[in-house]
Amino acid sequence: MIGIRYCIKQGAGPDTRNAKNNPAILLAAHHGHSSVVDALIKYKADFHACNDDGATALYQAAANGHADVVRRLANANANIEAHTKSHLTPLITAAQNGKVAAVEALLDLRADANSRNAMGATPLHLSVFGSHAECVRVLLDKGANASLSIKKGALAGTVPHEVCALLSTLILIAQSASVPWRLNGSN
């Protein structure tokens, strides 16, 4: 990567951060620039570096569905279970965002299919909430436990199939309501 090499020769370190305190490797991973991520790894960038929210490059790659970058970072020994300050792991966020390829990559890399966020929700719960059917299928195929319940909040004690029933009821109510509104793209 000529641009990276030039910046390094001009004195910019591989761990340079922008004005919002995001490391260069995190930004490259966020946008799926695998060749830039490779170059930064080659120049010994700290791929464990976090932004102010505690997100790493691997987290950003997963959140945005860049499975190839997730694999590259994991192969360089990035922590696939690292979590943000709000206790979101790369798998939780990929599942919540419906990023199937990233979910598959993380599960193939042995990410914990039953990890929990601060409320105790699992990737499976969040995939169900987001109506991400393909993520739900992948998670179940790869061993997610469908009997785990949410630990805290208004839905404490709820298991994924109960979430499906709740969402179906809300959609039916919305369809019969006189005021039009949308639930995650549904009419």
Contact 16, 23 (CB under 8 A): yes
Q: Model confidence over 112-136: pLDDT tens digits?
A: 999 999 888 899 989 988 888 899 8
pLDDT (0 to 100) of residue 92: 97
Nearest to 104 by CA among 78, 142, 64: 142
Same fold, 1-79 and 87-187: yes
pLDDT (0 to 100) of residue 75: 95
pLDDT (0 to 100) of residue 163: 65
Q: Model confidence over 59-70: pLDDT tens digits?
A: 999 999 999 999
pLDDT (0 to 100) of residue 164: 62
| Distance from chain centroid for Cα 44 | 24
Q: What is the mean pLDDT of the chain?
A: 81
**Amino acid at the residue 78:** A
CATH of span 1-79: 1.25.40.20
Is the pLDDT at 2 greater than 70, yes or no?
no
pTM above 0.75, yes or no: yes
The CA distances from residue 127 to 15, 16, 91, 133, in Å, are 34, 35, 11, 7
pLDDT (0 to 100) of residue 54: 87
Question: Per-residue pLDDT averaged across 20-26, rounded?
Answer: 78
Domain 87-187 has CATH 1.25.40.20: yes
pLDDT (0 to 100) of residue 50: 81
- Would you call 183 helix, strand, or coil by DSSP? strand
Q: Model confidence over 76-114: pLDDT tens digits?
A: 999 999 999 989 999 999 999 999 999 999 999 999 999
Burial of 175 (0-12, 13-18, 19+ CB in 10 A): exposed
| Distance from chain centroid for Cα 92 | 5
- For the CA atoms of the chain, what is the radius of gyration? 19
Contact 110, 80 (CB under 8 A): yes
Q: Model confidence over 135-162: pLDDT tens digits?
A: 988 998 899 988 888 887 766 777 766 6
Question: CA-CA distance, 182 to 73, in Å (whole number)?
Answer: 37
- The domain limits of the chain are 1-79, 87-187
Give the confidence band of 72 by pLDDT, cuts at 50, 70, 90.
Answer: very high
Q: Which residues contact 122 (CB under 8 A, 6 or more apart)?
A: 92, 113, 114, 115, 116, 144, 145, 148
Q: DSSP string covering 5-29, please?
A: HHHHHTT--TT-B-TT--BHHHHHH
Q: What are the start-end ranges of the H helices in the chain?
A: 2-9, 24-30, 34-42, 57-63, 67-75, 90-96, 100-108, 123-129, 133-141, 160-176
Give the confidence band of 187 by pLDDT, cuts at 50, 70, 90.
Answer: very low
